[in-house]
Amino acid sequence: MLTILLLAIPILAAGLLFLSGAKNARNLALGAGILELIVTVIAFYANKQGNAESLLNFNQEWIGPLGISYAFNLDGISLVMALLVALLLPIIIYASANRTYKSPHYFYGLMLLMAASMMGAFATTDGLLFYVFYEFALIPIYFMILYWSDNPNKAKITLKFFIYTLFGSLFMLVSLLYLYNISGSFNMNALYEAGRSLSAAQQGWVFAGFFIAFAVKIPVFPFHSWQPSTYDAAPTAGTMLLAGIMLKMASYGLIRLVIPALPDGVAEYGTWALALSAVSVIYASCMAIVQQRYKLLIAWSSIAHLGVLSAGILAGNAQGIQGGVMEMLSHGILSVALFFVYDIIESRVHHDDMHKMGGIREVNPLFAFLFFAVVMGSVALPMTSGFVGEFLLLIGFYQVSPWLTAVAGLTVVLGAVYMLRAFQVMMLGSAAASMLNFAPLNRHEKTVLTILVILIIALGVYPDPILSTSNPSVESLLQGLNR
Amino acid sequence: MKEILIISLLGIVVLALDVLKMRKLVLPISAAGLLGLIACCVLDWNHNETPFAQYGGMLTFDNMALAFTAVFAFIGLFWLLLAGDTYTANTSKRTDIFALVLFSMCGAVVLSAYTNLVMLFLGVEILSIPVYVLAASNRKNVLSNESGFKYFFLGSLASAVLLFGISLTYGAVGSFELTAIQEHISGGYYSPMILIGTALMLVGFSFKISVAPFHMWAPDVYQGAPTPVTAYMATVVKGAAFAGMFKLFGTALLPLPAAFTTALAVMCGITLIASNLTAVVQSNTKRMLAFSSISHAGFMLGFILVASTTSPKYLIYYTLTYSLASLIAFFVIQHVAAIQNEDDSTDAFKGLVKRSPVMAISMTVALLSMAGIPPLSGFLAKYYVISNMVNHGYMALVIIMILTSAVGAFYYLRVISAIFTPIENAGRIMTSDGMRRTFIVLSLLIVVLFFAASLLELL
């Protein structure tokens, strides 16, 4: 019941926005976002109390004879992901008050539709439905970039983004169909059984299909080339949605579909994927170090962090997956915070060339302080959310391949290099002339940044509510796997 | 019986209305007639115990024939509604064109219900001959004349090949009946004569459904013909040819020799590759849609490949969803081109979202559906094909389908991208209320058919 509510709220609100016109569009969307958050929190409580099957579960036949149903279930992992959506959605909407978008009702309507499809992907237990939601999330973001971006190359960039991800996900469809052909049903448990009944070589092929799909979207080197330009071209709210939530669908897909269904395939061919993830970490970190522009630096740093994420998950043990769940939440919050910092700077100085900035701390110490807290989270300092996730991921990874872990572990060092350098260049030193009239943070900017910083620290100090929620589901997911 | 009577009388009545100078009634009466045809199909549903064998058993309206007929009538209905808004200036021409389309639809009904190779040939001819005329109906336009001429020339050649194939088969079996042919080859032995006959029939059909390597005519004909006629060719004509082909390969020619399955699979593959790669470089939207139509024929050919073990309902679903999207796409092109000197290049679509929001959104839905993006019915249609291919182990074809789908998204998105690119001082495109309503209904149908796909399992 609650699950359906979580899907219905954004869809209905989007419909209302499309029909009602531009007046108060943002407030209406914000209301829907907050309502979504409240429902998610209730679902969290229901899960904690236990015996909430009827609240969190929904199953209705869609195409019966073909074994496809509208099946949703919020287990621990899904709940954390739902929290990610429901927490970030209102924050992103509230953070957009900085900007005025043309036809705001369509803009926020598309945003809500996207939230709905991501919520659906995280909640469904039907393989085909997962594909449908996964794929549909592309449409709103495609139009958000195409219509609301200022980038002169947006047509080309959106096309590349769309084709690239569509191309990847079609491979997932083939893999899903291959499993479905054995199971006769898209129910995920049936898909798991079907996957495990395959020989290691067959599992390897199916794994390859899934991995291409998810590697494009996570993204993992060498499938990443769409990402920096797309982040750059998207309006900030769109970038936040992309980096904060949408790309997590792929890493979630690894946890939900690949690890339980294809244990032998992962064991046999996973090393390739792990190596690619490790390369991805180093390559993206190096690219981040040489960037002149802050937004691109964040884009590349995102690839580096997600490389660790995919490596930890593909390690396929409880620590790795727990770390993955935690890191998805933490990275979502951190990306939104980092891109919000971009938005604040860009709205004042109208560029993001770091070398033309400097000394903002002198003019605006509060902003510098909050930004510093975000940077600390991003370099995974202990007591921040980033630390908990990456630490668990690296533990999980270590059990599979100590050498590759040593490579991927460099992310912490390299991350500190580019993040601290960025902070130093932009914030410290004596104030450049162009920075002197850097306006103080307004009320909602303060609110958003403060909330995000509190979240980053709170989750770092006390991650238990998240970890204990996802733990039973991770255990049951790994049950019956021989490692 | 009723079905074939209704559709053939309808064309004659429409012609009579022209003579009686009651041209205003043409659209209402033909629409009512098609609705009546759909109603008949619904009423006759599940009369399987006593099949409606007509004309000495040469036509049988079983459930599948009824479903195909109803779908063609449904598509025809929307075609009439949209074309009614296009052909308003010259009402006499409008009656002629409507009558020709209705006559041609009679062939579509025959092709859905035939159980006899003579009827198959008659169906193909009744379907095609009015369309030869329709393609050239824009008499003062050179391209339209070229289109009609090309279509007629190559179309009659294909008909001749088909007829030769039929006669060879008759020579070997001694009967035109599908059941007799099936009995004759049920042991799996194909005499050389039937082998050649089957090959020739395959060639004839391949031309009609425009799959490679018999697709060369389609881009020129589609581009040159008046856009509403192109819309009709891409939907009903193609769908009917597929219905006929499915029946032949799914009921009569069983078991199909391995050589033919290989041939079909190869044709399917090269159709997909050739059409999609060529579509990418087209700057003219109509020509691009012609290649896209060939590409969809490639997908539908997948159903023919597995016709012996698959229910035709998935082919019906594909035909329906593809036709709905095609109707939107071609008629939007018609109206966009009409106000800018018949310019139907991709650039002509720039700023459409401001100039006509309804057409812009409908076109977007149609193109995304053709590209196979959920939650639009085009996705499920493609899903059914690919699912069947995986099921029968045609993994190479599956990979080709996947790759070409991604290529397909490229050229569809280029148009969408143009639609949402703002331009300076864009004038609004005036469209009638009725047409906007039809476009909205069609777009909604494309979405609804996705969620209501379980209805298909009732067939």
Say how many C-beta atoms besides its own lie within 10 A of residue B374's C-beta: 24
Cβ of residue A208 closer than 8 Å to a chain B Cβ = no
- Residue B59, beta-bridge partner list: B54, B114
Q: Chain A closest CA to B33's CA: distance in Å? A: 33
Phi, psi torsion values for A72, nearest 5 degrees: -130, 145
Q: Chain B closest CA to A178's CA: distance in Å? A: 7
Q: How far apart are CA A118 and CA B271, in angstroms?
A: 36
For range A247-270, the mean pLDDT: 88
Cβ neighbourhood burial of B126 (10 Å; 0-12, 13-18, 19+): buried
Integer distance in angstroms from the first to the last C-alpha of chain A? 36
The per-residue pLDDT for A349 is: 84
Residue A33 has pLDDT above 80, yes or no: yes
Interface probe with A: pick from B402, B421, B455, B458, most Cβ of A within 10 Å: B402
> Quick one: DSSP state of residue A2?
H
**B387: which chain A residues are within 8 Å (Cβ-Cβ)?**
177, 180-181
In angstroms, how far is CA A15 from the centroid of its own chain? 25
- Tokens standing for B255? 């078991």
Alpha-helix residue ranges (DSSP H) falling in A184-247: 188-196, 200-217, 227-233, 236-241
3-class state of residue A282 by DSSP: helix
For range A34-61, the mean pLDDT: 84
State the maximum Cα–Cα separation within chain B, in Å, rounded to a whole number: 71
AA identity, residue A38: I
Q: Chain A closest CA to B85's CA: distance in Å? A: 27
Cβ of residue B149 closer than 8 Å to a chain A Cβ = no
C-beta atoms of A177 and B387 within 8 A: yes
Query: Sign of the CA dihedral B159, B160, B163, B169?
Result: negative
Q: Chain B closest CA to A77's CA: distance in Å? A: 25
Please state the ipTM of this predicted complex.
0.90
In angstroms, how far is CA B132 from the centroid of its own chain? 15
Cβ of residue A162 closer than 8 Å to a chain B Cβ = yes
The per-residue pLDDT for B354 is: 86
Q: How far apart are CA B350 and CA B327, in angstroms?
A: 20
Domain ranges, ordered by start, for chain B: 262-459
- For chain A, give the mean pLDDT: 88
- Residue B114, beta-bridge partner list: B59
3-class state of residue A199 by DSSP: coil
Question: Which stretches of chain B drop beneath a pLDDT of 70?
Answer: 1, 47-55, 89-91
**B391: which chain A residues are within 8 Å (Cβ-Cβ)?**
181
AA identity, residue A411: T
C-beta atoms of A132 and B410 within 8 A: no
3-class state of residue B54 by DSSP: strand
Is the bond leading into B28 cis (omega within 30 degrees of zero)? no
Query: Which chain B residue has its CA at the smallest distance from A182's CA?
Result: B391
**B390: which chain A residues are within 8 Å (Cβ-Cβ)?**
174, 177-178, 181
- Tokens standing for A450? 């403060």
C-beta atoms of A64 and B457 within 8 A: yes
What DSSP string describes A98-162? GS--SSHHHHHHHHHHHHHHHHHHHHB-BHHHHHHHHHHTHHHHHHHHHHH---TTHHHHHHHHH
3-class state of residue B79 by DSSP: helix
**A136: which chain B residues are within 8 Å (Cβ-Cβ)?**
373-375
Which helix or strand (DSSP H or E) is residue B298 part of? Answer: helix B285-305
Cβ of residue A159 closer than 8 Å to a chain B Cβ = yes
Pairing assessment for the beta strands B53-54 and B59-60 based on DSSP bridges: antiparallel
- Of B383, B420, B456, which is closest to A143 when you measure between CB atoms? B420
Write down how long chain A is: 483
> Quick one: DSSP state of residue B340?
T
Helix axes A365-378, A318-349, angle to 10 degrees: 150
Q: How far apart are CA B73 and CA A187, in angstroms?
A: 37
C-beta atoms of B454 and A166 within 8 A: no
C-beta atoms of B417 and A146 within 8 A: yes
C-beta atoms of B420 and A159 within 8 A: no
- Of B371, B402, B420, which is closest to A146 when you measure between CB atoms? B420
The per-residue pLDDT for B439 is: 94
Alpha-helix residue ranges (DSSP H) falling in B377-432: 377-391, 395-419
Q: Chain A closest CA to B295's CA: distance in Å? A: 17
Q: Chain A closest CA to B358's CA: distance in Å? A: 14
**Per-residue pLDDT tens digits for A416-440:** 889 998 888 888 877 777 777 778 8
Query: Which chain A residue has its CA at the smallest distance from B391's CA?
Result: A181
Look-up: residue for tokens 């149908």?
Answer: B445
Cβ of residue B400 closer than 8 Å to a chain A Cβ = no
- Under 8 Å CB-to-CB from B74, ≥6 apart: which residues? B34, B38, B320
3-class state of residue B116 by DSSP: strand
Instruction: List Cα–Cα distances, A119 to A7, A57, A258, B137, B428, in angstroms.
Output: 7, 14, 19, 52, 38
C-beta atoms of B421 and A66 within 8 A: no
- Of A147, A158, A178, which is closest to B390 when you measure between CB atoms? A178
Query: Which chain B residue has its CA at the smallest distance from A166's CA?
Result: B406
**B379: which chain A residues are within 8 Å (Cβ-Cβ)?**
132, 135
Query: Which chain B residue has its CA at the smallest distance from A63's CA?
Result: B454
Cβ neighbourhood burial of B62 (10 Å; 0-12, 13-18, 19+): middle
Q: Chain A closest CA to B364's CA: distance in Å? A: 11
C-beta atoms of A167 and B379 within 8 A: no
Q: Chain B closest CA to A62's CA: distance in Å? A: 6
**A143: which chain B residues are within 8 Å (Cβ-Cβ)?**
420
Cβ of residue A432 closer than 8 Å to a chain B Cβ = no
Cβ of residue B247 closer than 8 Å to a chain A Cβ = no
C-beta atoms of B405 and A166 within 8 A: yes
Cα-only R_g, chain B = 21
Q: Chain B closest CA to A204's CA: distance in Å? A: 15
**Per-residue pLDDT tens digits for A275-326:** 888 889 999 999 999 988 888 999 999 999 998 898 888 888 888 899 999 9
Buried b (16+ CB within 10 A) or exposed e, A322-340: bbbbbbbbbbbbbbbbbbb
Phi, psi torsion values for A364, nearest 5 degrees: -140, 75
Find the angle CA(B280)-CA(B284)-CA(B288) to the nearest 5 degrees. Answer: 45
Q: Are B433 and A198 in contact (CB under 8 A)?
A: no
Query: Which chain B residue has its CA at the smallest distance from A135's CA?
Result: B374
In angstroms, how far is CA B255 from the centroid of its own chain? 27
Instruction: Give the B window 35-74 contacts with A, CB below 8 Å.
Output: none
AA identity, residue B17: L
Q: How far apart are CA B233 and CA A327, in angstroms?
A: 54
The per-residue pLDDT for B48 is: 57
Reduce the secondary structure of A392-444 to three states and give it as a string: HHHHHHHHHCHHHHHHHCHHHHHHHHHHHHHHHHHHCCCCCHHHCCCCCCCHH
C-beta atoms of A181 and B391 within 8 A: yes
Which residue in B165, B171, B167 sits closest to B260, CA to CA? B165
Q: Count of CB contacts below 8 A, A vs B?
A: 74
- Under 8 Å CB-to-CB from A457, ≥6 apart: which residues? A373, A377, A383, A384, A385
Which helix or strand (DSSP H or E) is residue A70 part of? Answer: strand A68-73
C-beta atoms of B373 and A163 within 8 A: no
C-beta atoms of B373 and A139 within 8 A: yes
Helix axes B285-305, B217-224, angle to 10 degrees: 130
AA identity, residue B206: S
**Per-residue pLDDT tens digits for B122-162:** 999 999 999 999 999 888 888 899 999 999 999 999 999 99
**Per-residue pLDDT tens digits for A110-167:** 999 999 999 999 999 999 999 999 999 999 999 999 888 888 888 888 988 998 899 8
Cβ of residue B368 closer than 8 Å to a chain A Cβ = yes
For range A233-260, the mean pLDDT: 90
C-beta atoms of B379 and A143 within 8 A: no
C-beta atoms of A166 and B379 within 8 A: no
Query: Which chain A residue has its CA at the smallest distance from B458's CA?
Result: A65
Which residue in A147, A157, A123, A136 sits closest to A3, CA to CA? A123
State the maximum Cα–Cα separation within chain A, in Å, rounded to a whole number: 70
Cβ of residue A66 closer than 8 Å to a chain B Cβ = yes
**A163: which chain B residues are within 8 Å (Cβ-Cβ)?**
406, 409-410, 413
Cβ of residue A182 closer than 8 Å to a chain B Cβ = no
Q: Are B371 and B405 in contact (CB under 8 A)?
A: yes
Confidence band, pLDDT 50/70/90 cuts, at residue A365: confident
